[in-house]
A = this chain, B = another copy of it.
Amino acid sequence: MSNLIENGSYVLIFLDSKRNWIRKVIEGETFHSNKGQIQYDDLIGAPYGRVVKSHSGILFQVHKPSLTDIQTSMGKNARISTNIIYPKDAGTILIEGSIGAGSEVVEAGTGSGALTLVLANSVGSIGKVYTYENRDDMYQAAKKTLEKYTSAENITMHKKDILEGIEEKDVDAVVLDLATPWEVVEHAFVALKPSHHFVSYSPTINQVIRTHEALQMQGQWGMIKTLEVLQREIRVKPNATRPKTWMVAHTGYLTFARKLCEGYS
């Protein structure tokens, strides 16, 4: 991917952690904020990482949007912010779900597409993400988001309720962000390779308890565990270093399990 900003590129225009925006660079148009304006023409042809001065003299950084930038931006714009899986949870999903370059992953629901982007970036052109979304409005919105930020060649979108079954077989991970993940435990078992990874994200402890019940009832899952991840930002100043005053106290619990195979000696 080019390191020069082009007409049509998406950029992160960054002032500080609260005031930053992802925008599409359009020839002849202008970025407006209450800290001044920037002519997009001044960005075209410049490298990402450029610092530009608005017409009112404020310095903005212009970056290539990272996945975290995109997730954070989608979170800020979401009507219900917990609908977006946060970077702290996405990182844990990748690591504990053993997802990396070349993995084949099933995801449901697609939702905003924010986690789909993370998974697609992780598995790369040599992997595959299959994502299920039942609601038409969500499906269409996610489709637009995915086309905006990725070539999407490694993503297959299903407009379908995953409760009706998973079409894929022998996948490396099934990642669920659903109201009733326990109803998909059986389908996930059929779709996964042995020893591979079931992952479920749920905001409430009641959902976690029911998911554990389903995993344990089947008796065919091992290494079942549930984690919660807290992330705190430190404000570093030479003589006044301290954690920031506020933090997100809770997004969701992450439940992991691995498929066992039948029969033992």
Contacts and interface: CB of A to CB of B under 8 A. Distances in A.
Nearest to A243: B250
A229 B123 CA distance: 24
A245 B98 contact: no
A26 B126 CA distance: 32
B126 A101 contact: yes
- Stoichiometry, copies per complex: 4
Interface string A216-251: 000000111111111111101011111111111111
Q: Is the interface of A mostly helix, strand, loop or mixed?
A: mixed
A53 interface: yes
A224 B255 CA distance: 29
Given A51-B261, A245-B249, 7 more contacts: A101-B101, A124-B124, A125-B126, A204-B241, A209-B238, A213-B238, A246-B249
Contact of A124 (B126, B212, B239, B264): B126
Contact of A53 (B100, B203, B264): B264
B222 A227 contact: no
B261 A250 contact: no
Contacts of A243: 228, 249-250
A50 B260 contact: yes
Contact of A17 (B59, B91, B118, B225): B225
A122 B98 CA distance: 9
Contact of A194 (B48, B93, B124, B264): B48
Nearest to A246: B249
Contact of A231 (B194, B213, B228, B255): B228
Contacts of A228: 231-232, 234, 243
